[in-house]
Structure 1
Amino acid sequence: MQATAKGVSAGFVATTILTVALFYFARSVLVPLAFSLFCIALVWPLQAVLQRWMPRLLALLITLSLTMSVVVAVGSSVAWGFGKLVQWLFVNASRYQAIYADWIGWLEEKGIFIAGPLTDRFDVAWLLGFSQTIAGRLNSIAGFLVLVFIFVMIGLLEVEDFNRRLLSPAVQPIGGRILRANREIGAKLRRFMVVRTFASVLTGLVVWVFAFIAGLELAAAWGAIAFALNYIPFLGPLIATVFPTLFAIAQFESWQMAVVVFIGLNLIQFVIGSYVEPLLTGASLSISPLAVVLAVFFWSFVWGLSGAFIGVPILIVFIVYCAQQPSTRWIALLLSGGPAKSADEQHV
């Protein structure tokens, strides 16, 4: 019996490792596929309503146009914000260099020595290389969006036929369960994105007002960056807090003012993320905070920044499918943030 148990455990570990490796090495296909399925779940109701009143292909064209307009608007906001930041860095690179040298000298006086290569890399050439890296990433994102666009177009044309196949007697009762799960997933993902978008807009506006009142330059850019990065749980708000703090050090040349900026931005993120957003989300999307953290970091490890964004929607899909089966409903209960008595309520 012990040998059998060890064999099962070893097989489970090996399967898990191989699955993670598959997700990692096939990310060039799986990431745009995951994003396309996510987009289809969000925009399918619009496509379904439009094609009742107009030809199917015309409805598809309108749906795709609106979807890409939203994606481009969000992407443009973060690109514009970081573009303004990079321009400011080029103009004021010498100021950062001087502040950094002063800090190095102060630390060395206290007996703390920073490695020479780190000091050598913090210069204008490093900033130029960093900006070129960002430009390369933007080009790769453009190709990524084209692939997602193609997948979404094909998927929207396939939704109705796929649903009919799920309802056919040959695939029952599994087909019915999958269809119910897909409908629940679509509803939850749409609600998740509506709440997330509202929280992101609110965060961007409040950060812009705070930066303007604090006298921080590029206040509108910080608001745009905070708006876009708020779609990425934990990691996005962290980046949107650290960058303005470092910026404040160079602008005000005062660590006290940088601390004020850091505390103010963290309070904004905390209030909106911990109170406003959960209040709007409600119990139907209640997920364990630990599960959210693990999902974000796991998928960011496997798929990078794209994984950090899509990690929570994947977790929602996983919870809903687990809740459909009595044998796996306990997993959905452990991953959700509600009380134990809501286990049966999760089953639809």
Structure 2
Amino acid sequence: MADFAPVSPRSSPATQPTGSPILTAGGIVLAIGGLYFGRDIFVPFALAILLSFVLTPLVNFLGRWRLPRIAAVLIAVTLAFILITGVAFVVGRQLVQLANNLPSYQTTITQKIRSLQESAPGGGVLNNITRTIEDLGKDISGDERKPEEAQPRVGTGPKSPEPVTVRLEAPRPKPLEIIRSVVGPLLAPLATAGLVVIFVIFVLLEREDLRDRFIKLAGAGDLQKSTQAINDATARVSRYLLMQLVVNLTYGIPIGIALYFIGVPNAPLWGLLAAVLRFIPYLGPFLAALFPIALAVAVDPGWTMLFWVVGVFLVAELISNNVVEPWLYGASTGLSSLAIIIAAIFWTMLWGPVGLFLATPLTVCAVVIGRYVPQLEFLGVLLGSDPVLAPEEQLYQRLLAGNLEEAVEIAEDYVDKYSSHEFYDNVAIPALRLAENDRQRSTTDTNYRRLVADTAISVVREVEDHIREKASSAAERGEDRTAERPPCVLCVAGRTELDHAAAEMMAQVLEERSISAKVLPPIAVSQGALGQLGLEGIEVVCLSYLHPQPQVYARYIFRRLRRRAPHVKLIVCSWNLAHGTQQTEELNKQMAADAVFASLQGCIKQVDEWMCRPASGSGTRPVLPDVRQAQVAALHSLGLAAAKGQQFDEASKKIAQAFNVPIALVSLADDIHPAQPDAIDLSQENQAINQAPHEEPLGAYVIAANEVLVSEDVTGDPRFADDPRVLEKGIRFYAGVPLRTSAGHVVGSLCIVDTQPREFVDRDRQRLEQMANELMGQIESRATESATGLSDPVGPSAASGS
């Protein structure tokens, strides 16, 4: 059998049309020049496009009420004009009021500056230093002039009179000139506003026609890419504008209200200014805070108002950045933080203050274009927020650089989000595949290959420690005991150090699943050492290859191993199998293997089935003879060798009620004892489940493995999938913990069973273990009392953990 992992789309470079970099650079320079020199046209048009994104939903809403398209557009533009005019009126009124009040703040500012100078260290030292420097400057200027004045020139007559100063005054301006000087600066903004209104109306009226023309112009025959680009840009810009507007309103309105109660004059103006300026990336909040802070200094004779204003802006910024924005944005605009800053600088230099407001939407459009135009792909790479390297490429780069810390960080983050075998299958082994492909192309020398392998093995060790730290104390004890058992799976590296690293990854996942494994380097299967390979107790041999064609090497090794140990199962893990190899049975024959896999998940699943589902179908691991004898001796010492179910009915019933499950089972090494809550009568089912002839008890795996077993849905668990009791009785959930004596011998298990899948968190696991320990304490206490002549049944206190 073979299992082939899907190839990552990033692993094979896509065929892209080649273009001249010089032509691309020249086109970009011409475009920037055109945007700069044609800003009088492009700025209104860009503003119109931006407003059309905002007004399109309103136009569509009015259109659904069967209004003509022209009427819907005019109504939407009129409402927008009224809103903007109203905001401008409020701002203007507040500015006039502020200008009238400014003279009254002069005295407070002067007194505050004087108090600062007097309270400075040294008490007026700054004034004294300033006065001294001024006096020195006057003295030096006087010394330079005195010699000239004291020495009269030879042959000169009496001193001539000083010249008379003549002042030229311009004539009083005429009324027409006054009007021109006042209205002139306003003409440019008014003209821009008029162009914006006209552009908005025509863009909304001809939206579909403009879209079709843009698709035809930019599509170059590829309508799919053009349509995707337009949809992507529209969705990103619309979402950015809407969410930014909501964020800014939730930022500016509370600030305006807070400033009003603090007593800052013209509080509505500063709240509105804070909402508008926050459209400016990063700098907006600081600019919005400058005016209220300066006004607080001017109005309040003390410093209380200043501290309150600073506190209001800090709290509003923290809440907006850490609560409101993550909640509303959901998906980012696709720009990195550095790209937003660079875009703000670039568009400000190009179009002035208007470019600062348009920076983010325009850059979003540029990034979207870079996604669909190969010649402009560098825009998406430089400005986008999406990772430019696939996870396996990121890990491979860290391995190449020997950067263990960052490689471990990538591994732990992926393991926390998914699982260890998914990390190895989707990231780590593909990274080793990249290293092997580089080796095949001879782009890396032996030292780099050894560095990659050694760093990868160190990452495996760190991942193993990370998983162990996350596990509970009982799971850690189970892992330690698994490590003490002799290995039953050999993970052998086929040829190189990279194969050795892949074998280490496989062994770590097997150990995590409580299957003892041993890793051997490539030298162990060399021609001279193959005959000395120890196969005692080995049930499965997994041969790991990153070579794309390992058939010859694997066939030679497995033929020799099969002659020595015919019972051993042989697996070839070909992590880099050549493309087009699909004949499964043919591969098995070529490699003389029982199975061939190209993914870690398929290999682990097969090993797990072979190890946990022997031919007898019992589903449990064999118990070693010495362990079995110790269990029997412990049962006899506790008086449990011939125990009956009724002895544990009361305690099991309490445990079942504590976890709200229909059945709780106390299973000993020789028998099983069911119980259920009073409200559910499942005695016949319990007898059918647990007294079926020639069947192992459900807790047999827990007893044999001496570890906690939790299966939240047993139908997907290979240890229960073929169990007839599970299939016939509809059991869906199982959780069991071993019953250990104070000497450490496992004499049974405590299990809970449910007919529905359920979540079983670490807290529930620890609670079940505590109940098992209390139950064993009661059993041992009873055995001690029986030896002294006292005999009390095991009471319900065994379930006191509930």
Paired position in structure 2 for 1:142: 190
Amino acid at match of 1:24: Y
Amino acid at match of 1:304: G
How far the C-alpha of 1:110 sits from its partner, in A, is: 7.6
| Aligned residue among 290, 296, 299 for 2:347 | 299
Alpha-carbon distance in 2 for matches of 1:331, 1:241:
34
How far the C-alpha of 1:291 sits from its partner, in A, is: 1.0
Query: Per the alignment, do residues 134 and 186 of structure 1 end up closer, same or farther by CA in structure 2, a change over 3 Å counting?
Result: farther
Segment of structure 1 superposing worse, 196-205 or 265-274: 265-274
Paired position in structure 2 for 1:87: 97
Which protein has greater RCO, CA pairs closer than 8 Å, 6+ apart? 1
Alpha-carbon distance in 1 for matches of 2:184, 2:273:
19
Amino acid at match of 1:35: L
Alpha-carbon distance in 2 for matches of 1:34, 1:228:
18
2:306 paired with 1:249: no
| Aligned residue among 102, 113, 119 for 1:103 | 113
Amino acid at match of 2:87: S
Task: Give 1 or 2: higher helix fraction.
Answer: 1
Query: Per the alignment, do residues 84 and 51 of structure 1 end up closer, same or farther by CA in structure 2, a change over 3 Å counting?
Result: closer
Amino acid at match of 1:219: A
| Aligned residue among 59, 67, 90 for 2:69 | 59
Query: Per the alignment, do residues 53 and 22 of structure 1 end up closer, same or farther by CA in structure 2, a change over 3 Å counting?
Result: same
How far the C-alpha of 1:235 sits from its partner, in A, is: 3.7
2:56 paired with 1:44: yes
| Aligned residue among 23, 26, 50 for 2:38 | 26
Q: Does the 8 Å CA contact 1:75/1:228 hold for their aligned counterparts?
A: no
Q: Does the 8 Å CA contact 1:295/1:311 hold for their aligned counterparts?
A: yes
| Aligned residue among 237, 240, 246 for 2:288 | 240
Q: Does the 8 Å CA contact 2:47/2:196 hold for their aligned counterparts?
A: yes
TM-score by length of 2: 0.35
Segment of structure 1 superposing worse, 204-213 or 276-285: 276-285
| Aligned residue among 308, 331, 338 for 2:356 | 308
Amino acid at match of 2:293: T
Alpha-carbon distance in 2 for matches of 1:46, 1:84:
30
How far the C-alpha of 1:242 sits from its partner, in A, is: 0.4
Amino acid at match of 1:99: I
Alpha-carbon distance in 2 for matches of 1:169, 1:260:
56
Query: Per the alignment, do residues 47 and 86 of structure 1 end up closer, same or farther by CA in structure 2, a change over 3 Å counting?
Result: closer
Amino acid at match of 2:229: A
Paired position in structure 2 for 1:186: 234
Amino acid at match of 2:43: V
Query: Per the alignment, do residues 177 and 69 of structure 1 end up closer, same or farther by CA in structure 2, a change over 3 Å counting?
Result: same
Query: Per the alignment, do residues 171 and 285 of structure 1 end up closer, same or farther by CA in structure 2, a change over 3 Å counting?
Result: closer
Q: Does the 8 Å CA contact 2:108/2:299 hold for their aligned counterparts?
A: no
Query: Per the alignment, do residues 267 and 134 of structure 1 end up closer, same or farther by CA in structure 2, a change over 3 Å counting?
Result: farther
Alpha-carbon distance in 2 for matches of 1:134, 1:238:
32
Alpha-carbon distance in 1 for matches of 2:226, 2:201:
22
Alpha-carbon distance in 1 for matches of 2:341, 2:130:
34
Alpha-carbon distance in 2 for matches of 1:134, 1:177:
51
Larger Rg: 2
Amino acid at match of 2:271: G
| Aligned residue among 275, 279, 283 for 1:231 | 279
Query: Per the alignment, do residues 270 and 145 of structure 1 end up closer, same or farther by CA in structure 2, a change over 3 Å counting?
Result: farther
Query: Per the alignment, do residues 336 and 96 of structure 1 end up closer, same or farther by CA in structure 2, a change over 3 Å counting?
Result: farther
Alpha-carbon distance in 2 for matches of 1:265, 1:173:
52
Segment of structure 1 superposing worse, 324-333 or 23-32: 324-333
Alpha-carbon distance in 2 for matches of 1:269, 1:135:
39
Paired position in structure 2 for 1:262: 310
| Aligned residue among 310, 319, 322 for 2:367 | 319
Query: Per the alignment, do residues 255 and 62 of structure 1 end up closer, same or farther by CA in structure 2, a change over 3 Å counting?
Result: same
Alpha-carbon distance in 1 for matches of 2:255, 2:221:
50
After superposition, residues 67-86 of structure 1 pair within 5 angstroms as: 67-74=77-84, 76-77=86-87, 79-81=89-91, 83-86=93-96
Amino acid at match of 2:127: E
Alpha-carbon distance in 2 for matches of 1:236, 1:136:
29
Q: Does the 8 Å CA contact 1:74/1:228 hold for their aligned counterparts?
A: no
Amino acid at match of 1:27: R
| Aligned residue among 147, 160, 170 for 2:208 | 160
Query: Per the alignment, do residues 94 and 337 of structure 1 end up closer, same or farther by CA in structure 2, a change over 3 Å counting?
Result: same
| Aligned residue among 333, 338, 359 for 1:285 | 333
Identity %: 25
Q: Does the 8 Å CA contact 1:181/1:324 hold for their aligned counterparts?
A: yes
Amino acid at match of 1:38: L
Amino acid at match of 1:31: V
Query: Per the alignment, do residues 17 and 186 of structure 1 end up closer, same or farther by CA in structure 2, a change over 3 Å counting?
Result: closer
Q: Does the 8 Å CA contact 1:230/1:237 hold for their aligned counterparts?
A: yes
Alpha-carbon distance in 1 for matches of 2:259, 2:184:
30
SS for the counterpart of 1:216 is coil
SS for the counterpart of 1:217 is coil
Segment of structure 1 superposing worse, 144-153 or 255-264: 255-264
Amino acid at match of 2:284: G
SS for the counterpart of 1:232 is coil
Segment of structure 1 superposing worse, 284-293 or 308-317: 284-293
How far the C-alpha of 1:271 sits from its partner, in A, is: 2.8
Alpha-carbon distance in 1 for matches of 2:204, 2:281:
28
Paired position in structure 2 for 1:196: 244
SS for the counterpart of 2:229 is helix
How far the C-alpha of 1:316 sits from its partner, in A, is: 0.8
C-alpha deviations, 1:259-283, integer Å up to 9, x for none? 4312421331343145422431123
Query: Per the alignment, do residues 187 and 341 of structure 1 end up closer, same or farther by CA in structure 2, a change over 3 Å counting?
Result: same
Q: Does the 8 Å CA contact 1:77/1:225 hold for their aligned counterparts?
A: no
Paired position in structure 1 for 2:619: none
Alpha-carbon distance in 2 for matches of 1:59, 1:160:
12
Query: Per the alignment, do residues 254 and 102 of structure 1 end up closer, same or farther by CA in structure 2, a change over 3 Å counting?
Result: closer
Segment of structure 1 superposing worse, 239-248 or 87-96: 87-96
How large is the Cα RMSD of the aligned pairs? 3.8
Amino acid at match of 2:97: Q
Amino acid at match of 2:359: G
Query: Per the alignment, do residues 22 and 259 of structure 1 end up closer, same or farther by CA in structure 2, a change over 3 Å counting?
Result: farther
C-alpha deviations, 1:39-79, integer Å up to 9, x for none? 23343354456556646xx3233234324423542453355
Alpha-carbon distance in 2 for matches of 1:169, 1:247:
53
Paired position in structure 1 for 2:47: 35
Alpha-carbon distance in 2 for matches of 1:146, 1:258:
41
Query: Per the alignment, do residues 252 and 305 of structure 1 end up closer, same or farther by CA in structure 2, a change over 3 Å counting?
Result: same
